Amino acid sequence: MCGIVGIVAKSFVNQTIFDALTVLQHRGQDAAGMVTCEGNRFYMRKDNGLVNEVFRTRHMKRLMGNMGIGHVRYPTAGSSSAAEAQPFYVNSPYGIALCHNGNLTNADELADQMFRADLRHINTTSDSEVLLNVFAHELQQQGKLVPDADDIFAAVANVHKRVKGGYAVVAVITGYGILAFRDPNGIRPLVYGTRSIEGGEETMVASESVALDISGFTRVRDIEPGEAIFIDMQGNIHTRQCAEKTSLTPCLFEFVYLARPDSIIDDVNVHQARMRMGVKLAEKVQRERPEHDIDVIIPIPDTSRTSALEMAKHLNVTFREGFIKNRYIGRTFIMPGQTQRKRSVRRKLNPIESEFKGKVVMLVDDSIVRGTTSKQIVQMARDMGARKVYFASAAPPVRFPNVYGIDMPSPTEFIAHNRTEDEIGEAIGADWMLYQDLSDLQASVSEEHSGITHFDSSVFDGHYVTGDIDERYLVRLDQKRNDLAKVDEETSEHADEASADLHTKIQ
């Protein structure tokens, strides 16, 4: 999962891109990058770290130009080195910089094609570099000294034919404009909006509508699956459907956890979708335990707060904030080792004893992946004196890996692996475990947009909408994502850094 933004404006875009990336920071805290373009020259800054750590005043002064793109990275199975921060750049044809959100499921095959057939070298393990080179090759094949929108859209159409997976892309072509496009299944989100100023109209493309809001852009609409949008240097907007076969199947996990609640994705208000998730949970409680003894419903901050509040309201049960969150600790489910995750939970959340003591508590979380955090939170509630601790998840059990751009552990590390829901509850120490039904979760989102009839719900049901995922692919992915592999990779990166430091000292 990553966040992307692209802008064509009438004045320098560096500050606007910076502001957009700060509100997309939830989509990636590992690295940030920006490319701006003035005339026929690119200016780039990228590195590991948060947005306000990567871009200092001295960097912002050098990021000149009236159009540009930006990226925040949340690493998946590949390396998280600074060399793989985005955007990536190629000088031929024209000069193109590109960044993307998602994951290419045939990246290895494409990289081999790039070398053997297209005579292009891939220098990193990032599928974003592969995607950039595929697009660059297809654009070069158009054979134009001065490309127009038709040439660019033809290149995107050929990219769709070669590339598989989930992807939302934004690119800047030196001297020509900004291009953005979305995979034919619309798995990863992409939206665009405009802002009228004296002297004309400016356009922004971003992963979430909240990035438009923060800078005064008015949301126009989501980019359709398979569609491309090209904004030329004069600010003219060109759009075209570039895929032969499309289907709107957005990632269901975006609405559960990934997106900000104040965003609108595929015409669905994320906040309201999460409210409906809470209502569905309440209805399930009423079906399964109409004589429940819940005294208080407490959310596990922050994403579950909306669902928990609606759940409490519809059950006529008291809602309370029982945990105080340290907002300076990152998410824990992608940390490389179990020991590090365990240490992080207590640094992240601190319970308020008076909200638990002597009560039957229903804890509500947006989802459960490994269950390590859930188990410790249940124990915190007991340590604070709760008589009983129930646990509800606004999403169904996560049983399958995500292959479209969300970093999750090996399936064998999922708490739901080979366990029933009751066994999961026992494993985390809860007196009662309540999961959202998949049909209810889907209804919570599609109720607002009847045009969405299918979702990428692969993490819950194991159905991969691109149709190219087999057991061999999942085994290879599992080898990259298990904790041991991540520890080995981290050790290797540290060794590389130490070797580089030693080489520098010798020099």
Number of residues that make up the chain: 507
What element of type H or E holds 365?
A: strand 360-365
CA distance 98 to 93: 13
CA dihedral 464, 467, 472, 473 (to 10 degrees): -60
Which amino acid does the sequence have at 477?
L
For residue 433, the SS3 value is strand
Q: Which residues contact 305 (CB under 8 A, 6 or more apart)?
A: 299
Query: Is 478 labelled a binding residue?
Result: no
- Please check whether residue 228 is in contact with residue 291, taking contact to mean a CB–CB distance below 8 angstroms: no
Would the annotation count 372 as a binding residue?
no
∠462-463-464 over CA atoms, to 5°? 110
Query: Do the beta carbons of residue 351 and residue 381 sit within 8 Å?
Result: yes
Tokens linked to 1: 């999962």
H-helix or E-strand containing 336?
none
Q: Which one of the listed residues 2, 99, 242, 251 is annotated catalytic?
A: 2
Contacts of 283 (CB under 8 A, 6+ apart): 314, 440
* Token output for 166: 């989930």
Give 3-state DSSP helix, strand, coil % of the chain, rounded to 5: 40, 25, 40
Residue 332 marked in a binding site = no
Helix (DSSP H) and strand (DSSP E) numbers for the chain: 17, 22
Give the strand pairing for 264-265 and 237-241: unpaired
CA dist 127 and 110 (Å) reads 9
Q: How far from chain centre, in Å, is Cα 331?
A: 13
Indicate if 37 belongs to the active site.
Answer: no
Contact criterion met (CB below 8 Å) for 149 and 156: no
Mark the binding-site residues, compressed into ranges: 303, 365-366
Catalytic annotation, residues: 2
Which positions make up the binding site for Mg(2+)? 303, 365-366
